């Protein structure tokens, strides 16, 4: 959005022609002469010396005010006395359409956040945006919001490749979804990508793991034995649906509880592939959440996942010497995942009456089967656990994104990090220093011991979520999650036999 405040000082247009002063007199030589003649007729008592002084004064004003306008064939980078001349930028009228900018300016409009460095699964479309303290200049106007089909991030002017999550988002997703449902679930979508990832990049995400498949199926079967189907599970565990203003109140309360008021903004949208995610918009942290998951019993877990984990560790990471790409290389940091998503997934169910790891297990199961099946066959396979076709479509789409012809086996394996991270953290929950794991920023749990004496752990500088303050209670809740999902320490030691100091 273009606003008066955003224009640089001195951006008014100057002309090569003579300048006008308050009395309307032009500063050219001819007009000075006329001024002298008229003054002679009117002021009989004025002397010739007085007129000469006035002529000299007006001439000096003309020289001071004259600012040359760059020619059309040259860039406006001419300098005068070592200073750059003002550019020809015209001020738009507030509330009206500017002919030069073709942008409707409205200070009160609130739309989709503008994202510079994107970490989302797709661009956001028209949204419900709420915040306890929000300014419209941080967001795009409605006229500038891109449609969901324009969700791929184009390479920048330097030719930098788009972020992988953007590169694998189909530009024809709505059309292919309609075709799939119209066919009675018998059509394999053919996806098109605006800026497709190269084959080498896709190959790094194409291999599906199967090591944790028995544990994934065990978690899902246990949930089905309790609730009968996913829909019943969601109905009982999620609770009633929340209106946007109700979730806004819980969001504000959570920020106040964690002493993070006005540090995170809230963006609610129906067009998000992920359930929720954190992004940055012009230096502001934004929590994006899909409207369909605003549920009574899930709201606290979503806040602990996005703000209590992702935002908190990101903020703490900015205080550490390994912040940035060069810092990661210098200190030899291990990959962030599966620690990051595993920890966040545990915090999603932490404190629930039934902390079922359904989503992490089903994502793992779906990716493995996507690597062996077509889209249609995968959709049918998931019917064992999920009857709702919309929910099944979301799981299949996540696993098949990046493919063009989904009639062929293939997967995008990132979604397997959730269950992998969860089980690793549960396996070593008695050895991991969780306070340091969060306060040291975005690091792997395997790097904590090595970095503890190097990083910043000052309580006045770093953030520690309130639900992690009492480590004994925190570990007890992790043990409860383990047992209520039908798992045991013996199971985990069979999968991860080494102790943490041997890794």
List, by residue number, the catalytic residues: 306
Positive/negative CA dihedral, 498, 499, 500, 503: negative
For 26, phi then psi, to 5°, come to -80, 155
Q: What's the DSSP call for residue 354?
A: S
CB 439 within 8 A of CB 452: no
**Residue 281, helix vs strand vs coil:** strand
Q: How far is CA 389 from the centre of its chain?
A: 28
Angle of CA points 178, 376, 272, to nearest 5°? 50
Q: 78 Cβ partners below 8 Å, 6+ apart?
A: 68, 70, 84, 85
CA separation for the pair 498, 494 (Å, rounded)? 9
CA separation for the pair 339, 437 (Å, rounded)? 9
Residue of 111, 104, 105, 106 whose CA lies nearest to 134: 111
CA separation for the pair 370, 205 (Å, rounded)? 12
CA separation for the pair 174, 397 (Å, rounded)? 12
CA separation for the pair 399, 333 (Å, rounded)? 28
HSE at residue 501, side-chain half, CA atoms within 13 A, is 2
CA separation for the pair 231, 385 (Å, rounded)? 9
CA separation for the pair 166, 196 (Å, rounded)? 9
CB 370 within 8 A of CB 208: yes
Sheet containing 284-290: give its strands across.
Answer: 128-130, 264-269, 284-290, 276-281
**Residue 128, helix vs strand vs coil:** strand
């Amino acid at each position: 959005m273009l606003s008066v405040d955003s224009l640089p000082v001195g951006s008014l247009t100057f002309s090569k022609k003579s300048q006008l002063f308050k009395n309307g007199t032009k500063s050219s030589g001819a007009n000075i002469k006329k001024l002298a003649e008229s003054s002679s007729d009117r002021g009989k008592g004025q002397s010739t010396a007085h007129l000469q002084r006035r002529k000299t004064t007006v001439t000096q004003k003309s020289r001071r005010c004259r600012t040359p306008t760059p020619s059309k064939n040259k860039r406006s980078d001419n300098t005068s006395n070592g200073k750059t001349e003002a550019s020809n930028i015209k001020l738009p009228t507030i509330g009206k359409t500017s002919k030069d900018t073709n942008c409707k300016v409205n200070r009160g409009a609130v739309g989709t956040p503008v994202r510079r460095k994107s970490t989302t699964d797709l661009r956001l479309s028209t949204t419900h945006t709420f915040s306890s303290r929000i300014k419209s200049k941080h967001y795009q106007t409605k006229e500038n919001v891109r449609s969901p089909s324009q969700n791929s991030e184009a390479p920048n002017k330097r030719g930098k490749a788009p972020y992988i999550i953007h590169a694998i988002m189909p530009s024809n997703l709505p059309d292919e979804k309609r075709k799939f449902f119209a066919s009675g679930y018998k059509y394999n979508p053919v996806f098109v990508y605006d800026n497709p990832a190269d084959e080498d990049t896709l190959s790094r995400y194409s291999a599906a793991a199967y090591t944790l498949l028995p544990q994934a199926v065990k978690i899902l079967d246990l949930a089905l034995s309790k609730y009968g189907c996913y829909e019943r599970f969601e109905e009982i565990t999620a609770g009633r649906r929340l209106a946007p203003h109700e979730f806004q109140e819980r969001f504000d309360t959570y920020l106040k509880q964690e002493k993070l008021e006005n540090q995170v903004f809230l963006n609610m949208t129906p067009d998000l592939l992920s359930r929720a995610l954190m992004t940055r918009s012009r230096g502001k942290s934004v929590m994006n959440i899909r409207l369909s998951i605003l549920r009574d019993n899930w709201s606290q877990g979503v806040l602990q996942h996005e703000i209590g984990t992702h935002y908190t560790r990101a903020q703490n990471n900015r205080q550490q010497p390994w912040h940035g790409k060069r810092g990661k290389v210098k200190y030899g940091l291990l990959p962030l995942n599966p620690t990051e998503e595993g920890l966040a997934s545990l915090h999603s169910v932490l404190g629930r009456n039934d902390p079922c790891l359904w989503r992490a297990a089903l994502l793992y199961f779906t990716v493995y089967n996507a690597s062996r099946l077509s889209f249609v066959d995968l959709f049918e396979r998931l019917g064992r656990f999920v009857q709702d076709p919309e929910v099944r479509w979301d799981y299949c789409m996540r696993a098949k994104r990046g493919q063009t012809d989904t009639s062929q086996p293939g997967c995008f394996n990132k979604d397997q990090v959730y269950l992998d991270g969860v089980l690793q953290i549960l396996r070593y929950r008695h050895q991991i220093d969780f306070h340091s794991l969060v306060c040291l920023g975005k690091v792997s749990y395997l790097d904590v011991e090595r970095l503890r004496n190097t990083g910043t752990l000052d309580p006045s500088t770093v953030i520690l979520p309130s639900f992690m303050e009492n480590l004994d209670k925190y570990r007890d809740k992790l043990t409860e999650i383990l047992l209520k999902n039908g798992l045991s320490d013996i199971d985990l030691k069979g999968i991860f036999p080494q102790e943490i100091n041997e890794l």
